[in-house]
Amino acid sequence: MNLDDVRAAARVLDGVAHRTPVMTSRTLGDGVFLKCESFQRGGAFKFRGAYNFLSSLDEEERARGVCAISSGNHAQAVALSARELGIRAAILMPEDAPPAKLAAVDGYGAEIETYDRYSMPQVQAGREFAERRQMTFVTAYDDPRIAAGAGTAALELLEDAGELDLLLVPVGGGGLMAGCATVIKALHPGARVIGVEASGVVKRSLEAGERIQIPVPRHIADGQMLTQPGEWTFEVMRELVDDVVLCSDDEILAAMAFLFDRLKLVTEPSGAIATAALLAGHVRPEGARTGVLISGGNVGLERFVGLMG
């Protein structure tokens, strides 16, 4: 995957995906720009990659229908993209997925099955689900088409905010990071790209030089509850990512409250984590023009109030 692939994805998404706003906050600094993917269709950046992936399928792959495994945002993105393209979709979701995300996937018309995420690794559960359903599997992150679609968020950010010296990206399996880092490093090679996560699996894998596997993490960032980075995305991150920092649940909650109080943004925990890294001082821009990806806002009222209480 390269910059041309991301630009091609931008053409596919033109007029379909929302061009999400870029916001600023004096508290964060005059040179900090927040790319608000919480306003994307489906409530998160995931729509970009899913739609780009589904658009690439041939007639036979579309006829089989598509399936995916996700705690919510990718599930919603696949369900919505499938509805837009007239493709049948089935989604495997954890039993403890946020109710708002389950309801959204159902509302988009996809069939839902549930599983216990603590008894079976996500990759294994997804593989078995796809084999049983005999449908085209849509990975949440580990494919160049997914990453290229996600990378269009960084492309728009640069077009709207101008050149950046630093980009902070929430990192889970690595699709968003792979796409965004590809864009930034191609257009501004001297810029630093830093991932932000809650579990530490990506940071530890990069430090070890190989993908490590951990038990299912227990933190509030449900969009980052992965046990291992993606195989393809890991190689991209090894090449392009400068650092990864960690944020605690309390730091994430503080960022969600800040974004709500100061910018009137409703964000989910994984969506606010890059902002949390700034507020907690894990990353200090020190005058650098800084982009921050707010990756999603899919948190229901009941959960948001409960987290903020």
Percentage of the chain modeled with pLDDT above 90:
83
Comparison of pLDDT for 120 and 48, the residue scoring more: 48
Q: Look-up: residue for tokens 């508290």?
A: 27
Q: Is 295 a catalytic residue?
A: yes
**Which pLDDT belongs to residue 170?**
98
pLDDT tens-digit series, residues 18-42: 999 999 999 999 999 999 999 999 9
Would you say 265 and 38 are in contact if contact means Cβ atoms under 8 Å apart? yes
pLDDT above 80: residue 132: yes
pLDDT above 80: residue 171: yes
In whole numbers, what is the pLDDT of the chain averaged over residues?
94
Instruction: Give the separation between CA 134 and CA 63, rounded to whole angstroms.
Output: 11
In the structure, what pLDDT confidence band is assigned to residue 99 with cuts at 50, 70 and 90?
A: confident
In the structure, what pLDDT confidence band is assigned to residue 72 with cuts at 50, 70 and 90?
A: confident
**Which pLDDT belongs to residue 250?**
97
pLDDT tens-digit series, residues 259-284: 999 999 999 999 999 999 999 999 99
Comparison of pLDDT for 168 and 125, the residue scoring more: 168
Q: Look-up: residue for tokens 């987290």?
A: 307
Name the DSSP class of 217.
Answer: P
In the structure, what pLDDT confidence band is assigned to residue 230 with cuts at 50, 70 and 90?
A: very high
Secondary element (H or E) of residue 306: helix 301-308
Instruction: Give the separation between CA 278 and CA 2, rounded to whole angstroms.
Output: 29
Query: Mean pLDDT, to the nearest integer, of 156-166?
Result: 98
Q: How far is C-alpha 70 from the geometric centre of its chain's CA atoms?
A: 11
Would you say 170 and 98 are in contact if contact means Cβ atoms under 8 Å apart? no
Instruction: Give the separation between CA 237 and CA 232, rounded to whole angstroms.
Output: 9
Q: Which of 35, 38, 46, 205 is catalytic?
A: 46
Would you say 182 and 147 are in contact if contact means Cβ atoms under 8 Å apart? yes
Q: b vs e for 271-307, b when ≥16 Cβ sit within 10 Å of the residue's Cβ? A: bbbbbbbbbbebbebeebbbbbbbbbbbbbeebbeeb
On the CB side of 299, CA atoms within 13 Å amount to 26
Instruction: Give the separation between CA 61 and CA 65, rounded to whole angstroms.
Output: 7
Q: What are the backbone angles phi and psi of residue 136, rounded to the nearest 5°?
A: -70, 120
**Which pLDDT belongs to residue 226?**
85
